[in-house]
Amino acid sequence: MQKDNQPILPAGIVIKQLRQARALTQKEVYQGIVSRSFYSRLEHGQYDVDATHLWQLLDRLSVGAAEFDYLRRNHQITSEASLLNTISDLYAQHRFDELKQLYIAKRSSRLESDRLLASEIYTLVRAYGTNMFKMAVEPSLIAVEHLEDLSQWSLFELQLAGPAIWTVNSLKRKQALVERGEACYHFYAAMNGSYAANLREMLWLNYLQDLLTRPTYVKDAKFSDAKKAWKEIDALSDLSSDFNCRLERLMSHVIGALYFADDQQDAINQAHQLLTTFRMLNGKDKHQISIQEEIITFQLKRAQEYHRYH
């Protein structure tokens, strides 16, 4: 995580350090990607570079997005950065007992960075399944404020943004998190395509579900906001070829269709087809698929209630 008093190094400065460490000439790095004059100014921190050319330069330097991000933020791979990777892995594997233990260990620390880390862990756990209806929102507030204040997101922040959607009440703040998530996704997509795309799909899925739930607990909240988000998801053009990404996008489409599609029976049939798919996959990894089944089953019931009154 970036600390307020530790500026992010310009991309060109880090690229220069990496080039020198590999004993490469400037020409060996920039040739066929950018011009000599542009590259020279880039290395001196005078120019910035767009994401496409940045990933081409990093590929030539044999540097991954995560390593480059850590170098810019921390000037080295820190134990804190390693801990963020551990948290991401535990979350992806749904090992919530271990995450809760880590949260308990960090929440009362004297270090502000530890308390922020605890808040981020809590936010991830709280958004899983029905936990949000059982767990208080207050411990998540530090993490949300951090997301909103941070000038540039890493993939860890993109992962955190989906669960954080459930923490903020303001529609404007929710929309801002989605916009920041889209910008982060497009920045990393060229290098970390499937992983970044999965995090993006989960952000939109969380956003849609939150907006569908919002009218039950926020005065004057409208289902039309959820319908708008559903249409925005369907309009996203750059769908990844990754199987999990396509399933997540289909989930968002089907959930929205249960509420807003003209042909409700077709939407219900699609939902049951999805359930069948998840149950087939369930034999392979029961823990991974169960949450998707839970979401679809929950939304089938909620959509029935919605149509009784609309």
The predicted-structure confidence for 145-189, as pLDDT tens digits, reads as follows 999 998 888 888 999 999 999 999 899 999 999 999 999 998 888
**Distance of CA 165 to CAs 137, 162, 239, 260, Å?**
12, 5, 22, 22
**71 close to 9: Cβ distance less than 8 angstroms:** yes
User: Could you tell me the residue ranges of all domains in the chain?
Assistant: 11-74
CA distance 54 to 181: 19
Q: What is the rounded CA–CA span in Å between residue 31 and residue 305?
A: 61
Q: Please report, rounded to a whole number, the percentage of residues in the chain having pLDDT higher than 90.
A: 46
> What is the pLDDT confidence band of residue 2, given thresholds at 50, 70 and 90?
very low
Confidence class for position 130, pLDDT limits 50, 70, 90: low
- Most confident residue range from 46-60, 91-105, 250-264: 250-264
Contacts of residue 90, defined as CB under 8 A and 6 or more positions apart, other chains included, come to 96, 98, 99, 102
pLDDT at position 63, please? 73
DSSP three-state, residue 249? helix
58-83 exposure pattern, b = at least 16 Cβ within 10 A, e = fewer: bebbebebbbbbbbbbbeeeeeebee
Prediction pTM value: 0.74
Q: Which CATH architecture has domain 11-74?
A: Orthogonal Bundle (1.10)
- Closest of 216, 206, 136 to residue 177, by C-alpha: 206
Residue with tokens 């943004």: 161
C-alpha Rg value of the chain to the nearest Å: 21
* Rounded-to-integer distance, Cα 25 and Cα 252, Å: 48
Please tell me the distance from the alpha carbon of residue 201 to that of residue 195, in angstroms, as a whole number.
10
